[in-house]
Homo-oligomer: A and B are copies of this chain.
Amino acid sequence: MQPDISARPLRVTVWNEGRHEKEDEPVAKRYPEGIHGAVAAGIEENLGAAAVVRTATLDEPEHGLTEAVLKDTDVLTWWGHKAHGAVDDAIVERVAQRVLEGMGLVVLHSGHFSKIFRRLLGTTCSLRWRSEHDRELVWTINPSHPIAAGVPSPIIIPEQEMYGEFFDIPTPDELVFISSFSGGEVFRSGCCYTRGRGRIFYFRPGHETHPTYHHPDVRRVIANAVAWAGCTSPTQS
């Protein structure tokens, strides 16, 4: 219902570390197009013509995040896990500057420990975790927030890695979701921030050993988050 103040589609870049898919056969089978492929497909199926999606991965030159690519990106999504340290500091700083200028950033799951997330938030971003077979329930606590649109409360994810509090992050500007796990742990799993002129959303679900990025509700939330994070760009110029 918000008036469409720009006819231009949102330019989205889906970034993925992309190492598990190369080195771990079950992951490769679960995500034959890579985790980035699944994330990109989820955004496309939900936003349709309102978004143009490309992907980039760690092992491309400049990790696929050249000045030109970032300049042409309204929202960047970020998935990384075991190779956070391999991301070049200069490129982290380049991404950080673009966020502060107004580019949206959607950080997924183990991206909580990425250099870019910690650079922008300033805290350790540490948490409890357990890689067993927990069931995750994702509860909406802000039902009119646009990122929660169209998903049930709770979203039920049958098997997941557990993340638990204390999650060492700044108090979110808006908290949208809280998860619980089979062990009784809780986690702030949908967190909105504005930093500089850019919007940041952290969304917890998703692990390379589970088919989370094929889950329709998870895909819907990521697409909603991309739309939300991209909402500010027209005011930048």
Contacts from A to B (Cβ < 8 Å) = 1-6, 8, 10, 47-48, 50-51, 74, 96, 100, 102, 119-124, 135, 137, 139-146, 148-150, 153-154, 164-168, 170-171, 173-175, 178-180, 182, 184-186, 188, 193-199, 227-228, 230-236
> Are B165 and A141 in contact, with the CB atoms below 8 A?
yes
Contacts of A48 in B (CB 8 A): 3
Q: How many Å from the CB of A90 to the closest CB on chain B?
A: 15
Complex interface: chain B residues within 8 A of A74 (CB): 1
Report which residue of A120, A180, A233 has the largest number of chain B beta carbons within 10 angstroms of its beta carbon. A180
Does the CB pair B1–A135 fall under 8 Å?
Answer: no
Q: Taking CB as reference atom, which chain B residue is nearest A121?
A: B122
Contact of A124 (CB < 8 Å), options: B102, B121, B196: B196
Contact A230 B196 (CB under 8 A): no
Contact (Cβ within 8 A) A227 B3: yes
A117 to chain B, nearest CB (A): 10
A154 x B184 contact (CB < 8 A):
yes
Identify the closest chain B residue to A168 (Cβ): B196
Cα distance, A135 to B184, chains bound together (Å)? 9
Q: Assess A153 versus B175: contact at CB under 8 Å? Given A1-B10, A180-B186.
A: no
Chain B nearest CB from A182 CB (Å) reads 8
Chain B residue contacts of A123, Cβ below 8 A: 100, 195-196
Bound Cα distance A184, B139 (Å): 10
Q: Is the CB of B184 within 8 A of A170?
A: no
Please measure, in the bound complex, the distance between the C-alpha atom of A37 and the C-alpha atom of B232, giving whole angstroms.
30
- Residues of B within 8 Å of A230, CB to CB, are 1-2
Q: Contact: B47 with A3, CB < 8 Å?
A: yes
- Chain B residues lying within 8 Å of A3, measured Cβ to Cβ, are 4, 10, 47-48, 50-51, 227
The answer to whether A186 and B175 have CB atoms under 8 Å apart is: no
Q: How far is the CA of A124 from the CA of B128 in the complex (A)?
A: 31
Per a CB cutoff under 8 Å, which of B122, B179, B185, B231 touches A122? B122
Report yes or no: A193 in contact with B170, Cβ–Cβ below 8 A.
yes
Q: Is B228 a contact partner of A144 (Cβ separation < 8 A)?
A: no
A3, A100, A137 interface centre (most CB from chain B within 10 Å): A3
Say whether B165 contacts A2, CB under 8 Å. Answer: no
Task: Establish whether residues B165 and A233, one from each chain, have CB atoms under 8 Å apart when the complex forms.
Answer: no
B-side contacts of A5, CB under 8 Å: 1, 149
